[in-house]
Amino acid sequence: MSDCDTCNYFVYDEEYEEWFCSAQMDEDDLARMMQSEGRKSAGRCPYWVNGDEYAVVRHQAF
C-alpha cells in the first residue's frame, strides 16, 4: 500500500491533523489488503485512484 501518497482517497483531516483513506471499504476488505501485503501476488489497492489532476494533460506539450 505504498501508493497511498498519490491516491485521490488519501485526504488530510484538519481536526485530527492526520492523513487517512476516505475510500468506502469494510473491515473484510481492509483485512484482505493487509494480509496480501507481504505476498508476491499483492497488487495495487483496488480502491486506488490517481490524484494527479495533471496526468491527463501532461502529454500535451506546448
Give the range of the structural domain holding residue 25, as residue numbers without chain letter: 1-62
The Cα-based distances of 29 to 12, 25, 40, 46, 49 in angstroms read 22, 6, 18, 10, 16
Q: Rounded mean pLDDT of the chain?
A: 80
Is the pLDDT assigned to residue 39 strictly greater than 90?
A: no
What's the number of domains the chain is made of?
1
The whole-number pLDDT of residue 19 equals 94
Whether pTM exceeds 0.75: no
| pLDDT on residue 47 | 86
Q: Mean pLDDT, to the nearest integer, of 35-48?
A: 69
Report whether pLDDT(10) > 80. yes
Q: How confident is the model at residue 62 (pLDDT cuts 50, 70, 90)?
A: low
